[in-house]
Structure 1
Amino acid sequence: MECLGVSSFQNLKALSDLLSTQQEKEEDEDCGNVTACARLGPGHIGPSAKQDKTASTVYTKKNSKDIWSEEEVAEGSHYDDLTDPRPQPEYEIILKQSVGTEDLFLGLSRKDPSSMCCEAMLVKIKLPDTKATDVILDVKEKFLDLRTPNYKLGLHLPHPVHSQEGKAQFFSEREELEVTLLMKRPMDFINMQ
C-alpha cells in the first residue's frame, strides 16, 4: 500500500506546478538533460527567489511633482509663522476622567488611572497681562490655536478631541485660560464602561 503523503514525488511535483508561475515552468523545461528527481527539492516549491524588477514596493511615489501628500502634513502646520515675534505662553495639559464612589471604592466600572480611561483634556494656558476679550481661540480635532496681542500658541494635541464640544474659561485673577476638551477615542464604548 502506497502512502499518499506530502513526501511522495507525484504530490510534490503537483504542488510545485500549482505554486510556480508560467515563466518558471518554461525555465524548468529548458533544463531537459537533468532528471526530474534531481531537479526537485524544497527550494523548488512555490515561486522562485528571483525578484522581478517591476515588483511593487511598500512605498510608491505618485507621478507628480509633489514632495509630500496631504496626509503627511500635520494638522495646524499652516498656522506656524516663524517670522512672528510673539512668545509662546506657558501651558500644561492635564487628562481628566469622571470617577464616582463606585469606581473609587468598589471598582465597578473597570476604570483605571491610565490615559485610556480619560474622557477629557484640560489645557491650562498662562496669559499674563491679557484680557479675556483679547483672546482668539480656534480648536481643531488635533490642534489648538490661540492668539492674543502678546502671545501665540499653536499646540498639537496628544489625542484627537471633539472640537465643537469643548469649553473655555478665563480666570482674570490668575491670568489663566482653561480649555476643557472632550477626547475622541475610537474604543470609547469599551473603555468608558
Structure 2
Amino acid sequence: MECLGVSSAQNLQALSALLSTQQEDDDDDYSNAPSNARLGPGHIGPPPKKEEEVPSVYFKKNSKDIWSEEEVAESSQYDDVADPRPQPEYEIILKQSVGTEDLFLGLNGKDPSSMCCEAMLVKIKLPLTKATDVALDVKEKFLDLRTPKYKLGLHLPHPTHSAMGKAQFFSEREEMEVTLPIKRPMDILLM
C-alpha cells in the first residue's frame, strides 16, 4: 500500500521544484535583509504593494475621510496665537504600580502597555517662576497652566480623574509635577 504524500520519486521531484521556485522569489523580496534575520508573521503572503505618492496635500485616501493626516497638527499642545508667552518644556510619564507578584509570577496580568498604568505624571519646567505665580486648571483630557512668563495648554493622552489629581512645585528644581489618576475603561469591572 502506497502512502499518499512524499512516497514516490515523482512527488519528491514536484515538491523540490515547487520549493526551489518559491525560494528564488523569496530571495528577491528579502535581498536587503541581513542574512541572519528571522522571518516572522509579517513575511507570510505576498509582499505589500507600494502606493504611489501624490504631491497634493489635500488628497484623501478614503472618500469618507473629512480631513487628511497632513492637515492635522502632530503636536499635542494648544497654541494660542494671541498669547506671545512661550511654552515651557514638559514631559509626560505613565506610572504603574508593580509588585513582586507582577514582576516574577505575572499573577495580575499586567503588561508594560499604557492600558495597565494607574497614573500620569506631567513634569513641567518653569525657570524663574514662583509657586504663587502658577495658575493650574485640569480637566478630564486637558491641562492648562499659566504663569506670567509661560503658558501651556496640553491635551492629555488618556482621560483622567482631574478632581483626584495632585500638583507639587519644587522651587529648587524650578519644576512642577502634576500627578493625575487615569480613567481606565476596565476599572468599572473591578469596583
Length-normalised TM-score, structure 2? 0.57
Q: After the TM superposition, which segments of 4 or more aligned residues of structure 1 sit over 4 Å from their partners?
A: none
Q: What is the alpha-carbon root mean square deviation over aligned residues?
A: 2.1
User: 1:189: Cα distance to partner?
Assistant: 4.7
Asked if 1:125 corresponds to 2:97, the answer is no
CA distance in 2, matches of 1:82, 1:188: 39
Q: Measured at CA, do residues 88 and 121 of structure 1 come closer, stay the same or move farther in structure 2, by a change above 3 Å?
A: same
Asked if 1:186 corresponds to 2:185, the answer is yes
User: 1:149: Cα distance to partner?
Assistant: 0.5
Q: Measured at CA, do residues 136 and 165 of structure 1 come closer, stay the same or move farther in structure 2, by a change above 3 Å?
A: same
User: 1:108: Cα distance to partner?
Assistant: 1.1
CA distance in 2, matches of 1:117, 1:185: 8
CA distance in 1, matches of 2:79, 2:102: 42
User: 1:81: Cα distance to partner?
Assistant: 2.8
User: 1:117: Cα distance to partner?
Assistant: 0.3
Q: In the alignment, which residue of structure 1 is the partner of 2:108?
A: 109
Q: Secondary structure at the match of 1:164?
A: helix
Query: Match for 1:176: what amino acid?
Result: E
Q: In the alignment, which residue of structure 1 is the partner of 2:152?
A: 153
In structure 1, stretches of 5+ residues that fail to align are 1-58, 60-76
Q: In the alignment, which residue of structure 2 is the partner of 1:68?
A: none
Query: Match for 2:136: what amino acid?
Result: L
User: 1:104: Cα distance to partner?
Assistant: 1.2
User: 1:107: Cα distance to partner?
Assistant: 1.2
Q: Secondary structure at the match of 2:101?
A: helix
In structure 2, stretches of 5+ residues that fail to align are 1-63, 65-76
Q: In the alignment, which residue of structure 1 is the partner of 2:175?
A: 176
CA distance in 2, matches of 1:178, 1:81: 23
User: 1:188: Cα distance to partner?
Assistant: 2.4
CA distance in 2, matches of 1:154, 1:169: 18
User: 1:186: Cα distance to partner?
Assistant: 1.8
CA distance in 2, matches of 1:176, 1:126: 4
Paired residue total: 116
CA distance in 1, matches of 2:129, 2:91: 18
Identity among equivalent pairs (%): 84
Query: Match for 1:180: what amino acid?
Result: T
Q: In the alignment, which residue of structure 1 is the partner of 2:68?
A: none
CA distance in 1, matches of 2:117, 2:183: 10
Deviation track 1:13-63 (CA, whole Å, cap 9, x = no partner) reads: xxxxxxxxxxxxxxxxxxxxxxxxxxxxxxxxxxxxxxxxxxxxxx9xxxx
User: 1:132: Cα distance to partner?
Assistant: 0.6
User: 1:101: Cα distance to partner?
Assistant: 1.4
Q: In the alignment, which residue of structure 2 is the partner of 1:99?
A: 98
CA distance in 2, matches of 1:129, 1:174: 10
CA distance in 1, matches of 2:108, 2:120: 20
